[in-house]
């Protein structure tokens, strides 16, 4: 590890306290110049570091491998953590080296520079202000069951974020806090010679983004935990809470293949049930429908205006929006 990486590690584990040159140089023999240079490198990489009286400190809590391991020591599945400084996308990183990651591995990045969203969209994230997480799984399932995982993940994430306010699920993959999107889910699959080898469950959570961090066009529909709670939140606690909730649903489902526990939560917390929406599918004009249900396969059951029958929508093919042009 380089000196700046050591310094970052100590800053993360010392947060919110300061790290002085004296204490740092006791552990890593270096000159004051080396210490200052390491601080400059962290600043240039846009880590949230500040100085006070020749000491350094982080202005935000960052992902800490040791804290995560401590917080998840009793989870139902073992979760090895891989924390990267800056990578284009944690999902792409996980997919590119899929076979090298064991089941339950969690890939995280302090800064995700080219995050991917659903339906080919981008997912932007500012250094240290959002969580970019990819969970590697190898369940024995056929590809028909894939949409179920979005609902299972949404239920777990919605539960984990309840501590920060009124969370809801906007089918299929958005978590909404006080009416605005705070987190999104992108599940990608890994195939080998037509055989489903496994899944990468990607999650992005806006933790400390400020209004200035959002493009103007997103301000009315996106938010962060910081904006809503006016508090600094600990990403490690959020990640651990999510994994605890996820493991519960996932291990139960592996044993019983019953979807009721998480689908019933998706229905209870749905931001869409009973609402009128516009349904967007590729190459077709939007259609107006009323949301009637979410079935046991995780499909959204809608009633299109003028149709006698109800129609199930699969999450892979559709996006939906409030018909009043609002977000939900």
Residues that bind ligand BTN (CB under 6 A): 89-91, 112, 115-118, 121, 123, 132-134, 173-174, 184-186, 202-204
Closest CA to 168 of 228, 89, 236, 248: 228
The three-state (H, E, C) secondary structure of 216-272, written as one string: HHHCCCECCHHHHHCCCCCHHHHHHHHHHHHHHHHHHHHHHCCCHHHHHHHHHCECC
Q: Is the Cβ of residue 38 or residue 108 nearer to ligand BTN in the bound state?
A: 108
> Please, which residues have CB within 8 angstroms of residue 184's CB and are 6 or more apart in sequence?
117, 118, 123, 173, 174, 175, 203, 204
For residues 72 and 81, give the distance between their C-alpha atoms in angstroms, rounded to a whole number. Answer: 10
- Closest approach, Cβ 31 to ligand BTN, in A, equals 39
Partnered with residue 85 across adjacent β-strands are none
Asked if 21 contacts 54 with a C-beta cutoff of 8 angstroms, the reply is yes
In the complex, what is the shortest distance from the CB of residue 265 to ligand BTN, in angstroms, rounded to a whole number? 19
User: Closer to ligand BTN at the Cβ: 67 or 116?
Assistant: 116
Q: How far is the CB of 55 from ligand BTN (least distance, A)?
A: 33
Q: Are 320 and 272 in contact (CB under 8 A)?
A: yes
Whichever of 61 and 204 has its CB closer to ligand BTN, that residue is 204
* Six-digit token string for 121: 């969209």
Q: How far is the CB of 79 from ligand BTN (least distance, A)?
A: 16
Q: Which is nearer to ligand BTN, 67 or 111 (CB)?
A: 111
Minimum CB separation of residue 305 from ligand BTN in Å reads 27
Nearer to ligand BTN, 82 or 186 (CB): 186
Which residue number is nearest to ligand BTN in terms of Cβ? 184
Q: Provide the minimum distance between the beta carbon of 183 and ligand BTN in the complex, in angstroms, as a whole number.
A: 8
Q: How many helices (H) and strands (E) does the chain have?
A: 9, 17
Q: Residue 24 to residues 30, 54, 56, 248: CA-CA distances in angstroms?
A: 8, 12, 10, 41
Whose Cβ is closer to ligand BTN: residue 60's or residue 183's?
Answer: 183
């Amino acid at each position: 590890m380089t000196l700046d990486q050591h310094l970052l590690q100590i800053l993360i584990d010392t947060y919110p306290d300061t790290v002085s040159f004296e204490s740092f140089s006791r552990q890593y023999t270096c000159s004051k110049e080396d210490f200052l240079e390491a601080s400059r490198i962290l600043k240039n990489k846009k880590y949230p570091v500040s100085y006070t009286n020749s000491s350094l400190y982080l202005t935000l809590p960052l992902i800490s491998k040791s804290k995560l391991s401590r917080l998840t020591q009793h989870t139902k599945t073992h979760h090895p953590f891989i924390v990267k400084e800056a990578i284009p996308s944690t999902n792409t990183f996980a997919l590119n080296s899929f076979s090298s990651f064991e089941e339950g591995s969690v890939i995280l990045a302090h800064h995700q520079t080219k995050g991917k969203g659903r339906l080919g969209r981008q997912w932007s994230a500012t250094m240290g202000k959002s969580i970019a997480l990819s969970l590697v799984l190898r369940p024995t399932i056929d590809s028909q069951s894939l949409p179920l995982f979005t609902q299972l993940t949404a239920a777990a994430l919605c539960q984990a974020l309840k501590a920060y306010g009124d969370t809801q699920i906007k089918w299929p993959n958005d978590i909404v806090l006080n009416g605005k999107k705070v987190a999104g889910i992108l599940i990608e699959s890994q195939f080998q010679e037509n055989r489903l080898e496994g899944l990468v469950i990607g999650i992005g959570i806006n933790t400390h983004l400020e209004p200035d961090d959002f493009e103007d066009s997103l301000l009315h529909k996106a938010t962060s935990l910081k904006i809503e709670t006016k508090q600094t939140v600990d990403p490690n606690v959020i990640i651990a809470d999510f994994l605890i909730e996820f493991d519960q649903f996932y291990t139960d489902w592996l044993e019983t293949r019953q979807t009721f526990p998480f689908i019933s939560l998706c229905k209870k917390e749905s931001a869409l049930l009973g609402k009128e929406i516009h349904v967007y599918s590729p190459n077709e004009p939007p259609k107006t429908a009323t949301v009637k249900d979410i079935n046991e396969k995780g499909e959204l059951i809608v009633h299109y205006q003028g149709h006698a029958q109800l129609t199930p929508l699969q999450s892979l093919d559709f996006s939906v929006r409030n018909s009043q042009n609002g977000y939900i």
